[in-house]
Amino acid sequence: MQRVVLAAVVVLLCALAPVVPPFTLTLITEALIFGLFAMSLDLMVGYTRLYSFGHAAAYGLGAYATALMLLHFDLPLPLGILAGVALAVVVAVPIAWICTKSTGVSFAMLTLAFAQLGYAMLFRFKDVTGGSDGIGGIPRPAGPFGLAVFQGKLGYFYLVTFCLVGSYLLCRVLVRSPFGAVLAGIRENDAKMRALGYNTRAYKMAVVVVAYGFGALAGALYTPFAGFVAPELFFWLVSGRVLIMVVVGGAGTLIGPIIGGAFFLMLEHELSEATDLWPLIFGAIFIAFVMLAPEGIWGLLTRHARTQPPRPDDDADREAPRAAS
């Protein structure tokens, strides 16, 4: 049932895209990019209970790497984005190695430190990154394979939608795989998983790198969309906001954070036009969700409808995957 509704929403979006006003299309595109960003964090927060307070690092890395690729190497757009993601994944490995040395609050603070370090480094290497000005005038090169279709607004919307749906399906496979079952085990009881012979540190590293990869994809998609990048992409308020989106959307559901990200971007847009009080409302809504509805929007939506619980750990009866260590 859920699957049918979700597929219908995607088809509807794609069908309506050519006829909605260009401004709305821009807004929807940005909302989808943020949804993808929030979903990537959900792998860590919802499925492994690794609270990252520095996920802006993934976003910023992807955005800056793609900006540099497009600006200096004249790659076709999809390749530029892929290159950005690849670079972010490479950088994520040592970050994951250090951060997974600790858990809980220390983990959150370490990820925060790396994001802030990235922020500081942008100012250190002004020649490459443009310092506080960022990098502007980023092209959307067409490249040789007739990929010019992505240069337009509509084409870019389809590219973003394609990336989001593809990433969602990949992540879904991932969290339902034996690997995902181990992550759920770590979320519920790390010590027990270690006692069962799992090298939980390796699993945690893997999920951090994967989450960085998808987060970087969101950042990489943002760059040609906005046409510029700025140090604020790395700032800790971005990390805080995306964490909010995950929780409000519904952690541990993948689809919830996508809705949360998109929902908040739309809400922010509407409210900031109607009233200048919106950060106040934003903060209040957020506290209300944490206090009253920790299961998030998606949890509320599916509370009555669901026939089977949504979390992957409910597959606990299934035979446990073999130890990989």
Partner 1 sequence: MNFAGFLLAQSLNALSQGAILFFIACGLTLIFGIMRIVNFAHGGLFMLGAYVGYSVAAWTGSFWLSLIVAPLVVGALGAAFERSFLARLYARQDAGAYLMVTFGLAIILAEAIRLAWGAHPLGVPIPDRLRGIVLVVNQPFPIYRLFLIAMGAGAALLIWQFLERTRAGLLVRAVAQNADMVHALGTDVRTVRTAVFAFGCAMAALGGVLSAPLVTAFLGMGTNVIIDAFVIVIIGGMGSFLGSIIGSLLVAFVQVFGAYYFEDLALALMYLLMLAVLVVRPGGMLGKEE
Residues at the site binding partner 1, with contacts judged by CB under 8 A: 45, 49, 51, 53, 98, 101-106, 108-110, 112-114, 116-117, 119-121, 123-124, 126, 236-237, 240, 243-244, 247, 277, 279-280, 282-284, 286-287, 290-291, 294
Q: Closer CB to partner 1, residue 64 or residue 156?
A: 64
Q: Closer CB to partner 1, residue 6 or residue 300?
A: 300
- Nearest alpha carbon to residue 152 among 9, 17, 13: 17
Q: Closer CB to partner 1, residue 76 or residue 252?
A: 252
CA distance 176 to 182: 10
Q: Closer CB to partner 1, residue 132 or residue 177?
A: 132
Q: Closer CB to partner 1, residue 56 or residue 220?
A: 56
CA distance 77 to 150: 8
- Nearest alpha carbon to residue 233 among 92, 89, 242: 242
What is the DSSP track for 235-257? SHHHHHHHHHHHHHH-TTSSHHH
Q: Closer CB to partner 1, residue 46 or residue 84?
A: 46
* Residue 229, helix vs strand vs coil: strand
Minimal distance, residue 117 CB to partner 1, in Å: 4
CB 258 within 8 A of CB 164: yes
What is the DSSP track for 13-45? HHHHTTTS-HHHHHHHHHHHHHHHHHHHHHHHH
Minimal distance, residue 142 CB to partner 1, in Å: 38
Minimal distance, residue 112 CB to partner 1, in Å: 7
Residues near 227 by beta carbon (within 8 Å), at least 6 away in sequence: 136, 137, 138
Minimal distance, residue 115 CB to partner 1, in Å: 9
Minimal distance, residue 272 CB to partner 1, in Å: 12
The HSE-up count of residue 229 (CA atoms within 13 Å, CB side) is 33
CB 299 within 8 A of CB 259: no
Residues facing 222 on adjacent strands: none
Q: Closer CB to partner 1, residue 218 or residue 247?
A: 247
Minimal distance, residue 169 CB to partner 1, in Å: 27
Minimal distance, residue 299 CB to partner 1, in Å: 15
Radius of gyration, CA atoms only, the chain: 19
